[in-house]
């Protein structure tokens, strides 16, 4: 397992729920009913996106690429979340 840390932003939606996005991993978009659900979904989406990059031999975003141990194809993600209230 390789741990990768990416930054995500979680913001409340006007119609309810929360939206998670990341500048570190383009394409990461996750919506949840609660803050924690959005975070969990974002972790799952991030893992699947990174695995897809690797499976298709696509170039990884630089922040991700610098963290991956090239010998490992399996990853576990830890995502710190900065929230302004």
On whether residue 42 sits in a domain, the answer given is yes
Q: Identify any residues that bridge with 76 across adjacent strands, giving them in sequence order.
A: 3
Domain total for the chain? 1
| Residue 36 pLDDT exceeds 60 | yes
On whether residue 85 sits in a domain, the answer given is no
Distance of CA 59 to the CA centre of its chain: 16
Distance of CA 81 to the CA centre of its chain: 10
For residue 17, what is the domain's CATH number? 3.30.160.250
The mean pLDDT value for 30-53 works out to: 94
| Residue 5 pLDDT exceeds 60 | yes
What would the two tokens of residue 35 be? 């803050």
Q: Say if residue 81 is exposed, middle or buried (CB neighbours under 10 Å; 0-12, 13-18, 19+).
A: middle
pLDDT > 70 fraction of the chain, expressed in percent and rounded: 85
pLDDT at 66: 79
- Flag whether the pTM goes above 0.85: no
């Amino acid at each position: 397992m390789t741990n990768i840390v990416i930054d995500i932003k979680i913001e409340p939606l006007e119609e309810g729920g929360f939206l998670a996005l990341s500048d570190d991993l383009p394409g990461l978009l996750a919506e949840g009913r609660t803050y924690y659900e959005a975070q969990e979904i974002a972790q799952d989406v991030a893992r699947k996106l990174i695995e897809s990059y690797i499976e298709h031999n696509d170039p990884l975003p630089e922040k991700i690429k610098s963290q991956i141990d090239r010998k490992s194809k399996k990853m576990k993600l830890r995502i710190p979340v900065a929230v302004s209230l």
